[in-house]
Structure 1
Amino acid sequence: MTPPAARSGTGQPAELFFEDLVPGLTVDLGVVTVDGDEMVAFARRFDPQWYHVDPELAGESRHGGLIASGFYTVSLFMRAYVDHLLSRAAADASPGLEELRWLAPVRAGDRLAVRVDVMGARPSTARPGLGTVSLTGTMLRLGPDDRPEQEVLRTRFRGWFAARPTEGEPPAADLPESGAPGAEVPDEGPAAAEVPANPTSATSADGPPSAPVEPYD
């Protein structure tokens, strides 16, 4: 049986490991088309604001029509990330994100080019055997000629990936683009907040010491 750490994010034997995700690597996550019915169904279920679900009100507004919930757009990004990278990589959850920006409205029929760039990688301080990879994800609206017209989403986040097994190593799989192997790996620190040098001394703004802060990446 394949050990869990050697499985991809979709449960198949992994082809890519922490060591393959070097700073400078860009991975093309394909192009997604925004389905209008799905866009509205998502909004009705999870984000039923009028400019996402009411065509008449949205048409009379500055938006000029329905626009996607930002979280629907994020879900399209996530699906592309799973289909084109996590389905091949020894992924093991994520400690979180630092930035999520919706830079322009997304509408039904939009074609969005998706990609991730590896910005940094280092062994995890919280999860032995895993590496913490810092990534930037982007979605770009394409014009009729398939050239990028406008960036609509940008996110910075981190993922945990298992190190390559020491025995029976599979060969590194090819990626759409790759950075130079052996690139210097920066240590960017915790994902969300500075962790005190002595976790037990963390204090809240309101007075007594808070619970110990554990590193989470």
Structure 2
Amino acid sequence: MSAVLYAEDLRPGTVFELGSTAVSKEEILDFGRRFDPLPLHTEEAAAAAGRFGGLIASGFHTAALLQRLLVDAVFSRAALVAGREIGSLRMRAPVRPGDVLHGTMEIVEVRPRDDGTAVVRSRGTLTNASGTVVMEVRGETLWEHRPTGGSRGSAA
């Protein structure tokens, strides 16, 4: 595992590659049935007759996929305290069965606070295999500063 990332390791403009995840029809149907039971997420025939011409993933499902990529690639090795805010979440294109989504997280701002933490503003993006942005999230997280005497981690 890589060194722990602290607020001091983050610079505006740094982009973390989050890897990729495939979206299956079964996952779309399961998530839709459990959490967003609208026909466009749960019923293939109804979805085929709808505006999108087929089954699509719930926006909340898509956001959960981005969160998993964020945790696996960055947050699992970060001195992260908690999420603070989702400023915007834009679903820009439908996510369909068989799509492979690639994630990135860009650091927008690091704002140190007097309590040993820093507010980190970032932008998360998911794109499909054709390069179309399907989701963009802007938000804030709260990170710890490096403890006094700690060694420097690696930002990527």
TM-score band by shorter chain is over 0.9
For residues 61 and 15 of structure 2, the distance between their equivalents in structure 1, rounded to whole angstroms, comes to 24
Pairing 1:162–2:149 present: no
Match of 2:38?
Answer: 49
Once the two structures are superposed, residues 132-167 of structure 1 have per-residue CA deviations (whole angstroms, 9 ceiling, x without a partner) of 000001011113xxxx2x110001000111000102
In 1, are the aligned partners of 2:120 and 2:140 still within 8 Å (CA)?
yes
In 1, are the aligned partners of 2:3 and 2:153 still within 8 Å (CA)?
no
Letter in 2 for 1:114: G
For residues 108 and 68 of structure 2, the distance between their equivalents in structure 1, rounded to whole angstroms, comes to 21
TM-score normalised according to structure 2 size: 0.95
For residues 156 and 54 of structure 1, the distance between their equivalents in structure 2, rounded to whole angstroms, comes to 31
Aligned-pair distance for 1:170? 2.6
Q: Identity rate of aligned residues, in percent? A: 37
Q: Which of 6, 13, 28 is residue 17 of structure 2 equivalent to?
A: 28
Unpaired runs of 5+ in structure 1?
1-11, 176-217
In 2, are the aligned partners of 1:15 and 1:170 still within 8 Å (CA)?
no
For residues 37 and 115 of structure 1, the distance between their equivalents in structure 2, rounded to whole angstroms, comes to 25
Match of 1:172?
Answer: 153
In 1, are the aligned partners of 2:11 and 2:109 still within 8 Å (CA)?
yes
Once the two structures are superposed, residues 2-53 of structure 1 have per-residue CA deviations (whole angstroms, 9 ceiling, x without a partner) of xxxxxxxxxx996110000111110000111112211211110110001110
Once the two structures are superposed, residues 101-131 of structure 1 have per-residue CA deviations (whole angstroms, 9 ceiling, x without a partner) of 0000001110111000000011136xx1111
Unpaired runs of 5+ in structure 2?
none
**What are the residue-to-residue correspondences of 1:2-81 with 2, within 5 Å?**
15-81=4-70
For residues 129 and 13 of structure 1, the distance between their equivalents in structure 2, rounded to whole angstroms, comes to 22
Letter in 2 for 1:117: E
Q: Which of 116, 120, 142 is residue 109 of structure 2 equivalent to?
A: 120
Aligned-pair distance for 1:64? 1.2
Say which structure, 1 or 2, has more relative contact order (CA 8 Å, 6+ apart): 2
1:35–1:124 distance in 2 versus 1, CA, 3 Å: farther
For residues 56 and 24 of structure 2, the distance between their equivalents in structure 1, rounded to whole angstroms, comes to 12
TM-score normalised according to structure 1 size: 0.69
Higher alpha-carbon Rg: 1
Pairing 1:99–2:70 present: no
Give 1 or 2: higher strand fraction.
2
For residues 28 and 44 of structure 2, the distance between their equivalents in structure 1, rounded to whole angstroms, comes to 12
Letter in 1 for 2:92: L
Once the two structures are superposed, residues 169-188 of structure 1 have per-residue CA deviations (whole angstroms, 9 ceiling, x without a partner) of 1332251xxxxxxxxxxxxx
